[in-house]
Chains A and B, each alone.
Chain A
Amino acid sequence: MRSFTTVVTAFCGLVLSSSSIVSAKPTSESNLLPADFKPPQVFKNVNLVRSTNLEKSYARETINVVVENVDKQPQSEYYLSFPSDVFERVGGLEVRNKKHAEKGRLDVEAAEVDAASDFQYFIVHLPEPLAPSSQLTLGISYSLLNSLQPRPAAIEQSDRQFLTYSFSAYVPSAYQTVSQKTKVKFPSANIPDYTTTDLKTGADPERQGTTYTYGPYDTVKVAPGTSYAITVRYEFTKPVITASLLERDLEVSHWGGNLATEERYWLRNNGSKLLTQFSRVDYTVANYQQSPSTAIKELKYPLKPGSVDPYFIDDIGNVSTSRYRPGLKNREANLEFKPRYPVFGGWNYSFRLGWNNDLSSFLRRAVSSDDSYILKVPFLEGPKMGEGIQYEKVVLRVVLPEGARNVRYETVEGSSSNGLPSASQIQASLSTHKTFMDTLGRTALTLTVESLTDEARDSQLVVRTPTFSRHGLQQSLTWEQVTYDYSFWDGMRKPITITIGLFSVFAAAWAITNIDVSIKKR
């Protein structure tokens, strides 16, 4: 992790990428803090606005907070606290200095408290220590996976689905907060139940269309960590798509000039279960009337231009209900992946998808050296659904050619959130993968991220960084860049091996046919 921190501290305002050299020795992911740990009260939240977005099948929260240093020393470590039960489900946490958002994210580190404490912390490392009495605006964004519970938990097939979301009116901050409010954005105006509070004068929450605002509260006297439970229950007519695991393999072939992608999904619908069993008659009728359903009927999967040979299979073969619509020249192709059966609440569906791309649009030779290559690939693609998808675990494996060395990777970032957590939350390891007549085995870089959402597939703004702008990088995907060394002789290894193998077979055949084993008299 040291290398990473050095890169960050050597921030020059131009390099907007975090990079990691993959090392064999495991880096400690988190600092262990004692159970009774309390963050030093060196900051004060002057004003805090939290926006909770419930339009998708997970909760997406953005906190803008004005932080003031109330200590006498300059401070550089801001503790972000989460209740312990939520902590594990925080995905894609990103903290930025709002004033200098284009400088990229701040370094965030998980600091788990040892025992079953009520709160767990992330430590935000400020790039420059905050001087006493000066202020800083932090933009904190993250999503909370599996935070929406269907109520009632089981419904009839044709009933409407309602989700509940529980949170605290007071943002669980480690520091004293002067004023705070929470805006909740709902997907529809049908909100049958919500908690009303008397924490402030007048109606709380204030309702405005599909946005409810709790607060602002004057919370100077409220001790940090105090919670006031609020539960909202709202209609959500779409499925709650959860991938308990996504394995994504990217295989680079220099000889074939091919980038092969395979994704394996273990999907689940976390929506309301069926109260009675599935009825095909009702389903057919509902389908005919086109009424909304909480079942996953189809996953729309845009593929990059130039994607060829797609396949969509599950454990027992081709998913014949699906369609692939190839795009016209330089247009996105569309894979309409339709599960074999509608996936209702509580049901599972696992499948795999794969396709090929021309490698030349992802790989280039490094300027510095002839034997060094730079591979730039999307970190996450995944279906593009209005209701969003939450990924509990994503394992990305980049299989590099046999003999690739000095593998380094970095995630490419822009001025807005890319949905990925900071580099310290991404576990990386190198291994060898033996396939297709390999002798040494191919170098495989495995990156594991827990708690991701399909935010990681989209980032709204154009990436404009001096380092990459000359490649016209205007993508809506989160890119990941891998650098490795690969010499000419590495590429020749396989043809030579096969040649030697075949010749030895011929030689052996010749030798065997020349042995006379007959028992006749000579």
Chain B
Amino acid sequence: MAESPVDVLLKGSSGRSARGLLRIIILVTIAAAAVSSRLFSVIRFESIIHEFDPWFNFRATKYLVQNGFYDFWDWFDDRTWHPLGRVTGGTLYPGLMVTSGVIYHVLRFLTLPVDIRNICVLLAPGFSGLTAFAMYLLTNEMSSSPSAGLLAAAFMGITPGYISRSVAGSYDNEAIAIFLLVFTFFLWIKAVKNGSIMWGALAALFYGYMVSAWGGYVFITNLIPLHVFVLLCMGRYSSRLYISYTTWYALGTLASMQIPFVGFLPIRNSDHMSALGVFGLLQLVAFAEFVRSFIPGKQFQRLLTASIILTTGLAFAGLVVLSMSGVIAPWSGRFYSLWDTGYAKIHIPIIASVSEHQPTAWPSFFFDLNFLIWLFPAGVYICFRDLKDEHVFVIIYAVLASYFAGVMVRLMLTLTPIVCVAAALVLSYILDTYLKTSPGPVTRGRSNDESSEGLRSARSPEVGITSYFSKAVTTSAAIVYLLLFVAHCTWVTSNAYSSPSVVLASRMPDGSQFIIDDYREAYYWLRQNTPANSKIMSWWDYGYQIGGMADRPTLVDNNTWNNTHIATVGKAMSSREEVSYPILRQHDVDYVLVVFGGLLGYSGDDINKFLWMVRIAEGIWPDQVKERDFFTPRGEYRVDDQATPTMRNSLMYKMSYHNFNKLFPMGQATDRVRGAKLPAEGPQLSTLEEAFTSENWIIRIYKVKDLDNLGRDHSNAVAFDRGNKRKKASKKKGPRVLRSE
């Protein structure tokens, strides 16, 4: 090969720095691509917090920023779960809010007046750039190929599986947690490789951060011990392993216990027991190794067998006793549903009612990961070819995450990083094989330095593929796949994951965007025109949004910590007015909010969610609320004139369809979601009155009437008023009517 200026740049020490610079530029570009592909929603709509949970996080962040850290830590929120309230400071993962708060204060210190909302909206895209970088570091530990890390970073940056939870505005714990997950794994691998206390401590530090940020930290808590356990079983005990694990476990557990919500769980909850068990096991193994160096083999075998039997027996007995006595908490319901997908549906309807807790459909693997999903097994296979400690980690991670992703839609998120690693390993292997013209036999040696030196001195004969045709075919195929991947990711991100779901968009006949903004219309109405302490009752889905946008106390919200309270709301919604009204009065409810999509054909409305309310209420009051009563004798769920009397008398039905038929010509009222023609006579409400209905009727707010002035019950009062509509004016005039009564 002729010496050219480019070669000067690519070889030797200047070549190394040139490659380093190039690598940095590529990484920065990847991060930029990761950030910008998440900005679709900001460009299409606006800088707005999305969906449900982010609204709570946003509200909590605002509280943190306004009241300081200690007030946030001790925050008792009396504006949710009325009248119970919520110990918010002790029942949340503060990592996300604290991160935004720190960013906010740093910017304030630099006197940059950035709105806290914009920080929250852009936090997830910002951290996705960091995730891409962490992914680069992690993958580089797995492969000696220089391209693997960059490919993995690029995959991680734009793969929809991760974008689905990290678009701008999706201000949820996952926004920073995935970065922390990947980075903690990187630090762990680094620690295991080097047997370094520093890396172990850093891993513990980031593990602590992860614990503060997301409940999914349990995944790390179990994966790292499993990795260690498998290594032990493979007979790969080493002092490196001992140093890194003990450092990580001791410091990491202490760090995790600093979070009030976690507290003593690491030593009391079954979810965390494997980490503790492996910690003990590792001590035993270390002790055994220590003893082995002093005792001859045969005696050692006997000693080992005896001690293993003894300790296993003791540990098991201890576990059983502690579990029975209740010191160690049993597995949580969400955890059980990981093993038995039907568990939640039977025992905890509230978990099953959340769409993201449903099992994953097969197409969504391809939808979220595209061609990575079929590179993934190959990547795992590659790890077997070269089975070092870190490759064992990839394999374990891959197996576990695949299972979890199959069980719950949202756990696709934990699968995505390892798929990116595995796919990058394969693709870089393919590219290296086909692109490198003179790879020596030591390509996959310990480090790059040695191999290049060895190359130059030895001048080994060329090994590998030299045919330009096969090179061209393979690389162009790979490039086509990569391009398709980019196109797919962009398409998915833009079409599936970039809707704020608070604001709905549709198209006008001329193609321009038409925004349906009913949620904010109604929430802002509440915020501006009701007393600051009005209690709003709605189904729990909207609790966080009401708290965030309308700033009014709610009865239940997306935190779902009190199933009975939610069931109470479900009962009020699904019962007759005579039953519901006392419930409303007892809970100081001023306004009731329902979501109704019948006019617009918006299918995510309360009538469609109604059966879950019924089911959850039935779980607590099986004799008062019965799901069967809402189905017709033929088992249909109907809202038209065939609807069951229970259905038609339920508060939810009445609130949804109140006055709806007046919008249509006589007898023409049609529900566009359920495609049903409604009865000509609309439902009559007597204990509530319509207070506000948004432009497209998506949100309907009802005011709970006060007790009747004359002590009548409301249905009588309404009947009286209706029967004497003409007299209403004279009644207003003065006390004469009262006297005649």
Give the interface of A toward B (CB within 8 A).
276-281, 284, 314-318, 320-321, 340-341, 346-350, 434-438
Q: Bound state CA distance, A357 and B697, in angstroms?
A: 39
The answer to whether B111 and A437 touch across the interface, beta carbons within 8 angstroms, is yes
**Can you sample 29 A-B contacts with CB below 8 Å?**
A277-B692, A278-B690, A279-B659, A279-B690, A280-B690, A280-B692, A280-B693, A280-B695, A280-B697, A281-B662, A284-B663, A315-B524, A315-B527, A316-B523, A316-B527, A317-B46, A317-B47, A318-B46, A340-B517, A340-B520, A340-B521, A340-B524, A341-B522, A341-B524, A347-B529, A350-B528, A435-B111, A435-B113, A436-B111
**Contact flags B502-522 to A (C-beta < 8 A → 1, else 0):** 010000000000010100111
When distances are taken between beta carbons in the complex, the residues of chain B under 8 Å from A437 are: 110-112
When distances are taken between beta carbons in the complex, the residues of chain B under 8 Å from A434 are: 111
Please give the distance in Å from B114's CB to the nearest CB on chain A: 10
Closest-by-CB residue of A relative to B505 is A320
When distances are taken between beta carbons in the complex, the residues of chain A under 8 Å from B693 are: 278-280
Please give the distance in Å from B692's CB to the nearest CB on chain A: 5
The answer to whether B367 has its CB under 8 Å from any CB of chain A is no
The answer to whether A340 and B525 touch across the interface, beta carbons within 8 angstroms, is yes
Please give the distance in Å from A427's CB to the nearest CB on chain B: 25
When distances are taken between beta carbons in the complex, the residues of chain A under 8 Å from B692 are: 277-278, 280, 341
Contact among A320, A341, A347 for B503, CB-based, below 8 A: A320
When distances are taken between beta carbons in the complex, the residues of chain B under 8 Å from A340 are: 517, 520-521, 524-525
Please give the distance in Å from A256's CB to the nearest CB on chain B: 15
Closest-by-CB residue of A relative to B522 is A341
The answer to whether A317 and B520 touch across the interface, beta carbons within 8 angstroms, is yes
Q: Bound state CA distance, A317 and B694, in angstroms?
A: 17
**Contact flags B647-676 to A (C-beta < 8 A → 1, else 0):** 000000000000100110000000000000
When distances are taken between beta carbons in the complex, the residues of chain B under 8 Å from A316 are: 520, 523-524, 527, 548-549
When distances are taken between beta carbons in the complex, the residues of chain B under 8 Å from A280 are: 659, 690, 692-695, 697
Please give the distance in Å from B506's CB to the nearest CB on chain A: 12
Q: Bound state CA distance, A278 and B689, in angstroms?
A: 9
Q: Bound state CA distance, A316 and B519, in angstroms?
A: 11
Q: Bound state CA distance, A281 and B692, in angstroms?
A: 10
Contact among A281, A317, A349, A438 for B659, CB-based, below 8 A: A281
Q: What secondary structure prevails in chain B residues at the interface with A?
A: mixed
| 19 further A-B pairs in the complex, CB-CB below 8 A; given A279-B659, A341-B522, A435-B113 | A277-B703, A279-B693, A280-B692, A280-B697, A315-B524, A316-B523, A317-B48, A317-B520, A318-B46, A320-B503, A320-B517, A321-B521, A340-B521, A341-B525, A341-B692, A341-B694, A347-B528, A348-B529, A435-B111
Please give the distance in Å from B637's CB to the nearest CB on chain A: 27
Please give the distance in Å from A309's CB to the nearest CB on chain B: 14
When distances are taken between beta carbons in the complex, the residues of chain A under 8 Å from B110 are: 437
Please give the distance in Å from A299's CB to the nearest CB on chain B: 15
The answer to whether B529 and A318 touch across the interface, beta carbons within 8 angstroms, is no
Closest-by-CB residue of A relative to B524 is A340
**Contact flags B529-551 to A (C-beta < 8 A → 1, else 0):** 10000000000000000001100
The answer to whether B691 has its CB under 8 Å from any CB of chain A is yes
Please give the distance in Å from A492's CB to the nearest CB on chain B: 18
Size bracket of the B interface: 20 to 34
Interface centre among A276, A277, A317, A438, by most B CB within 10 Å? A317
Q: Bound state CA distance, A316 and B50, in angstroms?
A: 12
Q: Bound state CA distance, A349 and B521, in angstroms?
A: 11
Instruction: Report the 5 A-B pairs with minimum CB-CB distance, sorted nearest first.
Output: A280-B693, A340-B521, A320-B515, A318-B46, A348-B528
When distances are taken between beta carbons in the complex, the residues of chain A under 8 Å from B690 are: 277-280
When distances are taken between beta carbons in the complex, the residues of chain A under 8 Å from B663 are: 281, 284
When distances are taken between beta carbons in the complex, the residues of chain A under 8 Å from B46 are: 317-318
Q: Bound state CA distance, A350 and B703, in angstroms?
A: 23
Please give the distance in Å from B536's CB to the nearest CB on chain A: 15
**Contact flags B694-707 to A (C-beta < 8 A → 1, else 0):** 11010000010000
The answer to whether A436 and B515 touch across the interface, beta carbons within 8 angstroms, is no
Q: Bound state CA distance, A341 and B524, in angstroms?
A: 9
**Contact flags B108-123 to A (C-beta < 8 A → 1, else 0):** 0011110000000000
Please give the distance in Å from B422's CB to the nearest CB on chain A: 35
Closest-by-CB residue of B relative to A321 is B517
When distances are taken between beta carbons in the complex, the residues of chain A under 8 Å from B520 are: 316-317, 320, 340
The answer to whether A314 and B111 touch across the interface, beta carbons within 8 angstroms, is no
When distances are taken between beta carbons in the complex, the residues of chain B under 8 Å from A315 are: 524, 527
Q: Bound state CA distance, A435 and B107, in angstroms?
A: 10
When distances are taken between beta carbons in the complex, the residues of chain A under 8 Å from B45 are: 318
Closest-by-CB residue of B relative to A346 is B529
When distances are taken between beta carbons in the complex, the residues of chain A under 8 Å from B522 are: 341
Please give the distance in Å from B623's CB to the nearest CB on chain A: 35
Closest-by-CB residue of B relative to A154 is B732
Contact among B48, B515, B689, B694 for A277, CB-based, below 8 A: B689
Q: Bound state CA distance, A436 and B693, in angstroms?
A: 42
Q: Bound state CA distance, A280 and B549, in angstroms?
A: 22
When distances are taken between beta carbons in the complex, the residues of chain B under 8 Å from A350 are: 528
When distances are taken between beta carbons in the complex, the residues of chain B under 8 Å from A347 are: 525, 528-529
Q: Bound state CA distance, A284 and B503, in angstroms?
A: 22
**Contact flags B310-334 to A (C-beta < 8 A → 1, else 0):** 0000000000000000000000000
Contact among B112, B523, B549, B691 for A278, CB-based, below 8 A: B691
Closest-by-CB residue of B relative to A152 is B732
Please give the distance in Å from B452's CB to the nearest CB on chain A: 26
When distances are taken between beta carbons in the complex, the residues of chain B under 8 Å from A317 are: 46-48, 520
When distances are taken between beta carbons in the complex, the residues of chain A under 8 Å from B524 are: 314-316, 340-341
Q: Bound state CA distance, A30 and B690, in angstroms?
A: 50
When distances are taken between beta carbons in the complex, the residues of chain A under 8 Å from B691 are: 277-278
When distances are taken between beta carbons in the complex, the residues of chain A under 8 Å from B689 are: 276-277
The answer to whether B48 and A318 touch across the interface, beta carbons within 8 angstroms, is yes
Contact among B112, B113, B515, B528 for A349, CB-based, below 8 A: B528
Please give the distance in Å from A432's CB to the nearest CB on chain B: 11
Please give the distance in Å from B611's CB to the nearest CB on chain A: 27
Please give the distance in Å from A266's CB to the nearest CB on chain B: 10
Closest-by-CB residue of A relative to B47 is A317
Interface centre among B525, B659, B691, by most A CB within 10 Å? B525
When distances are taken between beta carbons in the complex, the residues of chain B under 8 Å from A341 are: 521-522, 524-525, 692, 694-695
Q: Bound state CA distance, A279 and B697, in angstroms?
A: 11
When distances are taken between beta carbons in the complex, the residues of chain A under 8 Å from B659 are: 279-281
The answer to whether B48 and A436 touch across the interface, beta carbons within 8 angstroms, is no
Q: Bound state CA distance, A477 and B659, in angstroms?
A: 48
Q: Bound state CA distance, A346 and B548, in angstroms?
A: 24
Within 8 A of A (CB), among B443-498: none
Q: Bound state CA distance, A434 and B111, in angstroms?
A: 7
When distances are taken between beta carbons in the complex, the residues of chain B under 8 Å from A314 are: 524
When distances are taken between beta carbons in the complex, the residues of chain A under 8 Å from B694 are: 280, 341
Q: Bound state CA distance, A320 and B46, in angstroms?
A: 10
Q: Bound state CA distance, A346 and B529, in angstroms?
A: 8
When distances are taken between beta carbons in the complex, the residues of chain B under 8 Å from A435 are: 111-113
Closest-by-CB residue of B relative to A284 is B663
Q: Bound state CA distance, A366 and B113, in angstroms?
A: 32
When distances are taken between beta carbons in the complex, the residues of chain B under 8 Å from A349 are: 528
When distances are taken between beta carbons in the complex, the residues of chain A under 8 Å from B48 are: 317-318
Please give the distance in Å from B59's CB to the nearest CB on chain A: 11
Q: Bound state CA distance, A314 and B520, in angstroms?
A: 10
Q: Bound state CA distance, A186 and B45, in angstroms?
A: 45
Please give the distance in Å from A323's CB to the nearest CB on chain B: 11
Q: Bound state CA distance, A74 and B57, in angstroms?
A: 72
When distances are taken between beta carbons in the complex, the residues of chain A under 8 Å from B528 are: 347-350
Closest-by-CB residue of B relative to A279 is B690
Please give the distance in Å from B577's CB to the nearest CB on chain A: 17
Closest-by-CB residue of B relative to A439 is B111
Within 8 A of A (CB), among B582-630: none
When distances are taken between beta carbons in the complex, the residues of chain B under 8 Å from A278 are: 690-693
Interface centre among B503, B663, B695, by most A CB within 10 Å? B695
When distances are taken between beta carbons in the complex, the residues of chain A under 8 Å from B695 are: 280, 341
Q: Bound state CA distance, A284 and B691, in angstroms?
A: 15
Closest-by-CB residue of B relative to A314 is B524
When distances are taken between beta carbons in the complex, the residues of chain A under 8 Å from B527 are: 315-316
